[in-house]
Amino acid sequence: MRRVPEIMGPLDSYLPYLLNRAGARIAAAFGEEMQPLGASLQIWRVLAALRESDGRRMGELSKTTSIEVSTLTRLVDNMEKNGLVERRRDAQDARAVALHVTSAGRRLTRRILPIAERYEAVALEGFTVGEAEVLKRALRRLYDNIEELER
The CATH number given to 11-150 is 1.10.10.10
Where do the H-state alpha helices sit in 5-128? 15-34, 41-52, 58-65, 69-81, 103-123
Please tell me the distance from the alpha carbon of residue 99 to that of residue 85, in angstroms, as a whole number: 7
pLDDT tens-place values along the chain, 151 residues long: 556 556 567 888 899 999 999 999 999 999 999 999 999 999 999 999 999 999 999 999 999 999 999 999 999 999 999 999 999 987 777 788 899 999 999 999 999 999 999 999 999 999 999 999 999 999 999 999 998 887 7
Q: Tell me, what amino acid is at 134?
A: V
